[in-house]
Amino acid sequence: MKTIRLGSSNLQVPQIAIGCWRIHLAGRHDAELYIRTAIEEGAVFFDNADIYGNGKCEEILADSVQMSSSIRDKIIVQTKCGIRKGYYDFSKKHILDSVDGSLRRLKTDYIDILLLHRPDALIEPEEVAGAFDLLKKSGKVRNFGVSNHNPAQIKLLQKYIKQPLLANQLQFGIAHASMLSTGLNVNMMSDFANDRDGGVLDFCRLNDITIQAWSPFQYGFAEGVFLDNENFAPLNKKINELAEKYSVKNTTIALAWILRHPAKIQPIIGTMKIDRLRDCIKALDICLTREEWYGIYLAAGNKLP
């Protein structure tokens, strides 16, 4: 498994991360088999959240790896906090309580990376800073990041916190590529020039923040997958042509498209199928040409000026 440096840290992580969003929907046996296979393949980075399955996903991960000190040192655990039923909460108390809950469910005494989930409009950054300081000092959390934040929101946090933000988890893929389109259509009047994220792609590159791509095979807001979807016929035709050329599955090409970007994006894959996991890992060995990469971008319905 190829690795990348996470943000500005010295932490080397697998370039493909395992998403645990839906792991509670699989049977315990299937979940354990999948996670153990992922570890054997070198995919030892597990992305979780306190709200996934109302905490069950964290419990299942711990049970599946039979969490112990020897196992814990071999895997990287990332989880998130901040989303509550009907509202968001970045208060100091909630962050601290959420981490304690995650630690219990994960059966561990530390979290490798804690992400603040979706932005809290009522954020008091001084409270976040206080929570981060306590978590870092106690050893409960080793590194920090955010999810679904724009540059201004990150800069507001950075004004108060002492710890670097290593990651920003954003939805990104061939059919959800607005943060690319904005940069390609600078000074144009088309819809593709609309800036929906404040230039977050370039901002993260400039500030050594790793972008983690969630739902890389989805279109819209996780409305469904574009692979083998008749509504994306030109895109699938192009992907299938390249899959045949490289003797891989269409899943591999779709992920290779993300990995080709020089920002060293870390995709979070949510499949629970072992064969698809292995197809994703094969994407690390494919480097699409510029012509192929732009061909896929255009086949998805995107435009170049």
What amino acid positions are annotated as catalytic residues? Answer: 52
Pair 269, 210: CB distance under 8 Å: no
Separation CA 186–CA 170 (nearest Å): 21
Query: Where in the chain does DSSP place strands (E)?
Result: 3-5, 12-14, 17-19, 45-47, 76-81, 83-84, 87-88, 111-116, 141-147, 165-171, 210-214, 218-219, 224-225, 266-269
Query: Where in 120-184 does DSSP place strands (E)?
Result: 141-147, 165-171
Separation CA 57–CA 90 (nearest Å): 21
Pair 109, 103: CB distance under 8 Å: yes
Element (H, E) at 140: none
